[in-house]
Structure formats: structure tokens, C-alpha cells
Copies of this chain bind each other. A is one copy, B any other.
Amino acid sequence: MRFILDAEQRLFAETLDKLLAEAATAAVAREWAAGGHEPGLALWRSLAGAGVLALAVPESAGGAGPLPVELVTAFHELGRHGVPGPYVETAAAAVMLGRLPESSPATAWLPAIADGTLVASLALPPAVPYALDADVAGLVLSVDGEELRVAGHGEARVSLDPARRLFSVTAGEVITSGAAAAEAYDMGALVCAAQLVGVGRRLLEVSVDHARTRRQFGRPIGEFQAVRHHLADALVGLEYARPLVYGAALSYGTPGFAADVSAAKASAAESAYTAARIALQVHGAIGYTDEYDPSLLIRKARALHTAWGSPAAHRARVMSALV
């Protein structure tokens, strides 16, 4: 039993952190929000090059996965850096497609997903009614129960998180009746949980930095006990969401996976949102201002709070498994 990242996994996280720190992700997200997808797609290709997308694709289809622990490790970094794009949706789609029989024509998309040349999105009504960034995706899927369809999309809707561009879908022909929406939903919720913990963690980091340097009333605000205790509470929440996320990743393929994912998503959403509210309170008007970067992640934490199933919905699923 060794329930911490091993050296290779840590190195992977550090590599992604470095890659993303150099990519000026806040600017990429702002451009993505404004409809300029090129920098974001270039980053997609870089991340694919680092192996991120292949983690969701089985080896038989040109991938390296599915490797849930490595996936959540990667999505934690995607969250920390506020990377825009349908990564959650692509990973969820890839894991679902990877579980189809190899004979299924739908598995033909997998190699292109793994190497980053195919960006996917998907809708899973009712919990995930819109397809994120459907206009950028080369493949938009819609899954309802066991029926997998290729979908068209309408106009973009405006989300609180400007880098999240949501589209209604119009479901087309059934591709296969052998896919399980539950498989996509569980994996989507899991990597979304990891992303949320990353978002919360970065918000805590920048809030601590701000509290150290911002002076009011003649001293750094980090000397005020109210600020200190807010930040301590943010840390406590995030510290306990993380093991739930990794614990769920390790139960992939077992009967407890769905409930473990739900525990992780509920906890990650609550603790990241708490961190966002605290970040806003510690930053004051600076956190409330569009052009300062903390606002990007504050908005994302709220948007992801209800994405891929609300905390209440996931808690209900945990109880269904228990009772």
C-alpha cells in the first residue's frame, strides 16, 4: 500500500506544470473565450504530445490507457492552470469508446484522439445537456442510455466561465447501441473532480501570495486572523478532496467505482467552490475584476460546481450505493 504518487507520476505532474506555466494559459483562456482557438489548440497538441490524451485511450487503439491515476494527475494540472477546451469531454468519450468491442466502427476515432489530432466533445443528458466547445470539436457525440449518436450543434451559449462555450446538440444517427452513458459519465465526473481540485488549489496559492503582499491598514492582510483562518479553511477542504479523487481513480473497474467517483466529485466541487469564495473575499475587488486572472478560476469553480452532476446529485448516488 502506497497511497501517494510514485516518482514517475510526480515527474509527470511536474512536467505538465512546467509545460503549462510556460504556455501563459490565462492569456490562452482569454483568447479562447473571445473565439480565438489557435493558441488553445496548439496547447492541446502539446499536451497530447506529453501523452495526456493517450491516457484515456486503450493501448489497442494507439493509446496508453485507460490510466485513471495518471488522468486525474493530469487533470489536476489542467485545473490549476485554467486550461480551456473540452478535455473532460474528450477523456470521457475516449474511455467510453475504448470499452466498445474492437470491431465497432466507433473505435476508429480513438487513435486520432490519442495523438491529439481529433478533439471530441459530448453531451449526456440530463446531467450534461450541452456539449462543451462543440464548434471546435472534430467529433461531437451524444449519448443517451446505451445509444451513441453523432450530433450536430446550435449556437454557443454564454457561461459564467467565459472559456466554457456550451452548445445544444441535435442528435443524429445511432452509431452503436452498445455504449454505456454511465461509463462516460463516471469518467467525466472523475476527471472534472480532479480539475476542480486543481482549480481550488491554484486559487489558494494565488490568495496566499496576495495575502502576503497586499497591504491594508498598514500591514499585509495575511496578518489578519480572519484572512488567515479563511485560507486555512480553504486548505483543509482541498486536502481532503484530493484523496477521494485518487481513491476513486484506483477503484476504476471495480463495482464501487461509480459511488467513489460521486464522493470525489461532491467533495471536490464543494471544496473548490469554497476556495473560490474565499479567494474572492481575500482578493476583494481585485478578485471581482474580469481583467485580473484570479477571476478566471473563480468563475470556473462555480461553473464546474454543477457540471457533470451537482454535489447533491452525487451525494444521492453515494447513498444509493450504501443503502
Stretch at the interface among A11-19, A48-56, A67-75, A221-229: A221-229
Complex interface: chain B residues within 8 A of A226 (CB): 225-226, 229
Interface residues of A in 222-257 (CB under 8 A from B): 224-226, 229
Q: In whole angstroms, what is the CA distance A226 to B229 when docked?
A: 8
Nearest B residue to A223, CB-CB: B225
Total A residues in contact with B, Cβ cutoff 8 Å: 4
Please, which residues of chain B bring their CB within 8 A of the CB of A224?
225
Residue of B whose beta carbon sits closest to that of A226:
B225
Most chain B CB inside 10 Å of its own CB: which residue of A224, A225, A229? A225
- In Å, the complex CA distance between A287 and B225 comes to 23
| Main DSSP-derived SS at the A contact region | helix
Alpha-carbon gap, A229 to B224, bound state (A)? 12
- Complex-state Cα separation, A305 to B229, whole angstroms: 28
Query: How far apart sit A224 and B224, CA to CA, in the bound complex (Å)?
Result: 9
A193-234 vs B, Cβ < 8 Å mask (1 yes, 0 no): 000000000000000000000000000000011100100000
Chain B residue numbers with a CB within 8 Å of A229 are 226
Question: Closest chain B residue to A227 by CB distance?
Answer: B225
Query: How long is the Cα–Cα vector from A229 to B45 in the complex, in angstroms?
Result: 50
Docked complex Cα distance between A229 and B226 (Å): 8
**What are the residues of chain B within 8 A of A225 when measuring CB–CB?**
224-226
Q: Give the distance to chain B from A163, nearest Cβ to Cβ, in Å.
A: 35
Q: In the assembly, what is the distance between CA of A247 and CA of B226, in Å?
A: 34
Minimum CB–CB distance for A64 against chain B, Å: 49
Compute how far the CA of A229 lies from the CA of B229 in the bound complex, rounded to whole angstroms. Answer: 11
How many whole Å from A217's CB to the nearest CB in chain B?
12
Chain B residue nearest to A224 (CB atoms) is B225
Cα of A149 to Cα of B273 in the assembled complex, Å:
53
Closest to A225 in B: B225
A111-140 interface bits toward B, Cβ cutoff 8 Å, 1 = contact, 0 = none: 000000000000000000000000000000
Q: How far is the CB of A323 from chain B (nearest CB, A)?
A: 19
User: Distance (Å) between the CB of A277 and the closest chain B CB?
Assistant: 16
In angstroms, Cα B226 to Cα A224, docked, is 9
User: Please, how many angstroms separate the alpha-carbon atoms of A312 and B133 in the complex?
Assistant: 41
Closest to A229 in B: B226
- A225–B229 Cα distance when bound, in Å, is 10
Q: How far is the CB of A300 from chain B (nearest CB, A)?
A: 29
User: What's the nearest-Cβ distance from chain B to residue A219, in Å?
Assistant: 13
5 A-B contact pairs sorted by A residue (CB < 8 Å)? A224-B225, A225-B225, A225-B226, A226-B226, A226-B229
